[in-house]
Amino acid sequence: MTTAELIFWYSSLFLQLLVCALAFWRRLYLRLPVFTIYLTVLVAREAFMYWVYHSAGHTSRLAFFSFWITQTILLAARAAAIGELAWNAARAYAGFRIVLKVVLTGIILTLLLWAAFEAVANASHLPQFVLSVERDFELTAAVALVVLLALSAHYQVPVRSTQRLIASGLLVYSLVQVLNNSISSRWLDSYFHSWNVIRAASFHAALVVWLVALRKPLPGPAKAAPAPDIESVAAFMRQGTQVIHELAGRLRHFRRNPQK
């Protein structure tokens, strides 16, 4: 690993530990348990890869397969976290939930089919195959996040600032990785070190956004409107009954005096 890669790696580990600790301190697991699990998996993966690099070497086959297998696990965890954000945004709005489900399902299925075709085309070249698959999955994640944020703004669905910032951090990382993997799949050898640095830098940006999201205590859950007491209900019913009687009296008067 180059000096730049080592610096980015150690700083990334520090930021991941800080974000994870802050998430538990703010009790984010009560609001976003899947995203909290994703943060925990991030830290566990970094510790595991540290052990692999020091025991087997950075360029060993064990390091190669360990990196990509754990990267696949992270992709799945990040996809689940995005789904959790979408569910939380749409949970209280049945109409918005239907629109979001239909739109996201159509887009995600289209992109995944495209990813499957590209994977088959690159199956004979393992590095290009892995990079293409990851790029297409990151593109799917980015599109899903853009649709979520755009539809919530269009339909004026309130999304808490914490969740919006978390979604923005995920979006930044996915967009950078789409571009990064697209370049690397064409010039893998000459671009390899730059690919690692850009990957780390984009993830640093996402971690900083999540730190901003968790810098303050999370707002409490929305309070339900207090149930009206019996006296107020009775008074409302008396007023309504009086209005109905007055209206009925006017109608009777109108029928008796049609000329007036």
Q: What's the mean pLDDT when you consider all of the chain?
A: 77
Residues 223-249 have a mean pLDDT of 57
Q: Which residues are within 8 A (CB) of 129 and not within 5 positions of it... i.e. 6 or more apart?
A: 119, 122, 123
pLDDT number for residue 246: 67
Higher pLDDT, 183 or 127: 183
Model pLDDT, residue 260: 47
Residue 119: the pLDDT is 60
Query: What digits encode the pLDDT tens for the residues 114-126?
Result: 666 766 666 555 5
- At 212, the pLDDT band (50, 70, 90 cuts) reads very high
Measuring CA to CA, which residue among 164, 168, 190, 191 is closest to residue 179?
A: 191
Q: Name the band, by pLDDT with cuts 50, 70 and 90, for residue 227.
A: very low
Over 90: is that where the pLDDT of 38 sits?
yes
∠ CA 88-90-91, rounded to 5°? 65
